[in-house]
């Protein structure tokens, strides 16, 4: 399916910043250090698009009329994917807002892990794997190290303790252009004729994609949270972008909704980068949440075609797993 010739796993391993035969030691969780493995996670994520996204781009390319602007654009994207991988260079000049989700067993110091992740981000920025994207809101001043100049808001790190004996670190590089076209709706929404049901949700999603046109660097991937409050809805919608495009929604009804919606969105004619065509989105992931009886939010996060995400798994006495 893929039209990209990515470098072999052996090549990727040979370029790793982790020492050869490195294994994680999780026996003493309090002294766990994930700095180097997180740096390697960033290196791989910034330059290597996940295979399911490559496959979806290739499927879109095959569907477009030969030599059309859509086909040429998707062809250039696929060429870009190969070049970034071969040169271990950022896939896009915008390496985004850097977001982590860390799941860990009891006994880990979140404070220590946070400092290690921040150190890895600073080092990745020095090595030009990340662009310095973190500026003061009003002055635009850039310290050049990707750290929030006021608090510890960037990189964004979500922590969760779990029962498993392993540590999992997921990363997403969320581009600024696609972030700008995310949207949140409050139902009912009279201007769209959208009520508090799945039909209303569908109208919101179509509206967001129509308004985005090519500005989110389509073809896009949509994460949609139905419910929650204004914060948790957006958080969930973003987390949904970690889901593989070939992974079905565990709820069969929602899975059917997602697939039908993706097909409908691809008839809008917006196409790659807004140049027209049949490939406007690569996938849609929707999840229902709780809500306050008085509120009904639909929160939509839009991810561009350059959907850089990866998960690092650390299991005791085993090499780091990147997937």
- Please give the Cα distance from 67 to 54 (Å, whole number): 20
- Please give the Cα distance from 42 to 310 (Å, whole number): 9
Q: Which of residues 191-230 bind ligand SF4 (CB under 6 A)?
A: 216-217
Q: Which of residues 228-257 bind ligand SF4 (CB under 6 A)?
A: none
Find the binder of ligand SF4 among 107, 144, 176, 188 (CB under 6 A): 176
Q: Which stretch binds ligand SF4 (CB under 6 A): 15-23, 158-166, 169-177, 221-229?
A: 169-177
CA atoms within 13 A on the CB side of 186: 7
Q: Which stretch binds ligand SF4 (CB under 6 A): 32-40, 92-100, 110-118, 253-261?
A: 92-100
- For position 177 contacting ligand SF4 by CB under 6 A, the verdict is yes
Q: Residue 92 or residue 102: which is nearer to ligand SF4 going by CB?
A: 92
Relative to beta strand 97-104, strand 167-174 is antiparallel
Residue nearest to ligand SF4 (CB): 175
CB 35 within 8 A of CB 113: no
- For position 306 contacting ligand SF4 by CB under 6 A, the verdict is yes
- Please give the Cα distance from 239 to 223 (Å, whole number): 8
Provide CB contacts within 8 A for 30, sequence distance 6+: 107, 108, 109, 112
Compute the least distance from the CB of residue 18 to ligand SF4, in Å: 27
Long-range contacts of 256-265 (CB under 8 A, 24+ apart): 257/198, 257/202, 257/286, 258/283, 258/284, 258/285, 258/286, 261/202, 261/205, 261/286, 264/206, 265/205, 265/206, 265/209
- Please give the Cα distance from 292 to 208 (Å, whole number): 23
CB 302 within 8 A of CB 216: yes
Q: Which of residues 25-64 bind ligand SF4 (CB under 6 A)?
A: none
Number of residues in contact with ligand SF4 under rule CB under 6 A: 11
- For position 89 contacting ligand SF4 by CB under 6 A, the verdict is no
- For position 175 contacting ligand SF4 by CB under 6 A, the verdict is yes
Q: Which stretch binds ligand SF4 (CB under 6 A): 4-12, 128-136, 175-183, 312-320?
A: 175-183
Q: Which stretch binds ligand SF4 (CB under 6 A): 125-133, 176-184, 206-214, 256-264?
A: 176-184
Provide CB contacts within 8 A for 152, sequence distance 6+: 114, 118
Find the binder of ligand SF4 among 60, 90, 96, 233 (CB under 6 A): 96
- For position 271 contacting ligand SF4 by CB under 6 A, the verdict is no
Which spans of this chain sit near ligand SF4 (rule: CB under 6 A)?
92, 94, 96, 175-178, 216-217, 304, 306
């Amino acid at each position: 399916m893929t039209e990209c010739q990515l470098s072999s796993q052996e090549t990727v391993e040979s370029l790793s910043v982790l020492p050869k035969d490195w294994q994680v030691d999780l026996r003493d969780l309090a002294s766990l250090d994930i700095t180097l493995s997180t740096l390697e996670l960033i290196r791989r994520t910034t330059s290597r698009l996940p295979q399911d996204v490559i496959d979806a781009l290739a499927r879109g390319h095959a569907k477009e009329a030969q030599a059309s602007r859509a086909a040429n654009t998707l062809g250039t994207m696929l060429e870009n994917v190969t070049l970034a991988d071969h040169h271990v260079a950022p896939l896009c000049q915008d390496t985004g807002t850097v977001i982590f989700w860390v799941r860990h067993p009891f006994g880990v110091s979140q404070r220590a892990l946070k400092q290690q992740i921040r150190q890895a981000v600073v080092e990745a920025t020095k090595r030009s794997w990340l662009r310095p994207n973190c500026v003061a809101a009003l002055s635009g001043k850039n310290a050049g190290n990707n750290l929030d100049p006021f608090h510890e808001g960037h990189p964004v790190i979500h922590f969760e303790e779990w029962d498993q004996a392993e540590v999992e670190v997921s990363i997403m590089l969320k581009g600024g252009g696609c972030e700008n076209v995310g949207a949140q709706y409050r139902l009912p929404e009279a201007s769209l004729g959208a009520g508090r049901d799945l039909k209303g949700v569908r109208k919101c999603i179509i509206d967001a994609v129509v308004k985005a046109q090519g500005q989110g660097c389509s073809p896009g991937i949509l994460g949609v949270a139905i419910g929650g409050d204004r914060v948790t809805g957006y958080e969930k919608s973003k987390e949904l972008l970690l889901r593989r495009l070939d992974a079905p929604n565990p709820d069969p009804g929602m899975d059917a909704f997602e697939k039908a919606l993706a097909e409908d969105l691809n008839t809008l004619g917006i196409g790659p980068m807004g140049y027209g065509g049949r490939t406007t989105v690569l996938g849609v992931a929707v999840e229902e949440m709780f809500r306050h009886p008085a509120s009904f939010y639909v929160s939509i996060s839009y991810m561009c075609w350059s959907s850089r995400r990866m998960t690092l798994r650390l299991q005791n006495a085993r090499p780091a797993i990147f997937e």
